[in-house]
């Protein structure tokens, strides 16, 4: 399927990196609520990879748009140019293996017009080659973000899609059901949304399920012949679900504000329990 070009295996990356047109490598290691990724990057990363800070460069400061609003395009564009990203040059993004942060960078680059972007399937854990502590100084790229190449939802669009199409909630099932809420103001989900945890996109080896398995999973959830959108807590893990949908050949929109934005407004409805679908 065409969506398979959204990911790359470690062996394919090793071959391309040694070839005549090596991709720009971005290290986006990040752990929600955990330590910063920069020290892990400095302790060892793929040769040539540039570290990208999710909180500072792939998101705006928390506010009305949620905990990880879309970044200021000037900040994002400058970070990508500094990393060597240029129009027409392939980019490969990786993280520690969960796929959330790498998918956020993938989605932002695709949304803002960079066509050849892939995520290292399984992240750094799949890489068997040498790592380095050398921090590269790539030539400045010419990337200029032009948003609009990937579909995006606001709160009103997410609410409409929950009724007229399929809105997937990528968080853990217990958060969707409203049993726990460790971060946001209130527990529960957007009325009409369907639970679809990101963990079910992955195989035991940490890589994405085959495209056919992902297609079957999402079609069973209702993603056939209808518009699809995805949200999570703050728009990060939802990007991984959109990547999984891309692999399956199913286009989907991101509700970037996600539950952190939705639940901050007391006038918006909240549903709990297992849902109706």
Mind listing the pLDDT tens digit of every residue in the chain (277 residues)?
345 589 999 999 999 999 999 999 999 999 877 778 899 999 999 999 999 999 999 999 999 899 999 999 999 999 999 999 999 999 999 999 889 999 999 999 999 999 999 999 999 999 999 999 999 999 999 999 999 999 999 999 999 999 999 999 999 999 999 999 999 999 999 999 999 999 999 999 999 999 999 999 999 999 999 999 999 999 999 999 999 999 999 999 999 999 999 999 999 999 999 976 5
Q: Please tell me whether residues 109 and 186 are part of one structural domain.
A: no
Q: Per the structure, how many domains does the chain have?
A: 2
Whether residue 205 lies in the annotated active site? no
Residue with tokens 């752990």: 31
Do 96 and 160 fall into the same domain? Answer: no
pLDDT for 34 equals 75
Catalytically annotated residue among 49, 109, 214, 232 = 232
Cα distance between residue 232 and residue 77, in whole Å: 25
Q: Which residues face 152 on adjacent strands?
A: 254
Tokens found for residue 89:
């040059």
- Which CATH number covers residue 26? 3.40.250.10
Contact 247, 3 (CB under 8 A): yes
Residue 1, pLDDT score: 38
Q: What DSSP string describes 164-181?
A: HSEEEE-S-HHHHHTS--
Domain membership of residue 158 (yes or no) is yes
* pLDDT score for 5: 87
Contact present, 12 and 260 (Cβ < 8 Å): no
């Amino acid at each position: 399927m065409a969506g398979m070009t959204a990911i790359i295996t470690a062996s394919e990356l090793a071959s391309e990196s040694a070839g005549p047109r090596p991709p720009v490598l971005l290290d986006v290691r990040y752990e929600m609520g955990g330590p910063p990724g920069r020290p892990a990057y400095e302790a060892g990363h793929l040769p040539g990879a540039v570290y990208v800070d999710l909180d500072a460069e792939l998101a705006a400061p928390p506010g009305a748009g949620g905990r990880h609003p879309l970044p200021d395009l000037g900040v994002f564009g400058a970070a990508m140019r500094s990393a060597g990203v240029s129009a027409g040059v392939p980019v490969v993004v990786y993280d520690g293996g969960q796929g959330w942060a790498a998918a956020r960078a993938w989605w932002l680059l695709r949304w803002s017009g960079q066509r050849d972007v892939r995520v290292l399937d399984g992240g750094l854990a799949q890489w068997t080659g040498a790592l380095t502590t050398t921090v590269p100084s790539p030539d400045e790229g010419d990337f200029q973000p032009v948003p609009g190449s990937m579909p995006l939802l606001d709160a009103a669009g997410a609410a409409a899609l929950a009724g007229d199409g399929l809105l997937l909630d990528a968080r853990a099932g217990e958060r969707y059901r409203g049993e726990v809420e460790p971060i946001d103001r209130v527990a529960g989900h957007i009325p009409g949304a369907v639970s679809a945890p990101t963990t079910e996109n992955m195989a035991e080896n940490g890589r994405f399920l085959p495209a056919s398995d992902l297609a079957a999973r999402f079609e069973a959830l209702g993603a056939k012949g209808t518009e699809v959108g995805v949200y999570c807590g703050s728009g990060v893990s939802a990007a991984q679900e959109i990547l999984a949908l891309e692999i399956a050949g199913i286009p989907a929109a991101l509700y970037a504000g996600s539950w952190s934005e939705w639940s901050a407004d007391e006038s918006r409805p909240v549903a709990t329990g297992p849902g109706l679908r």
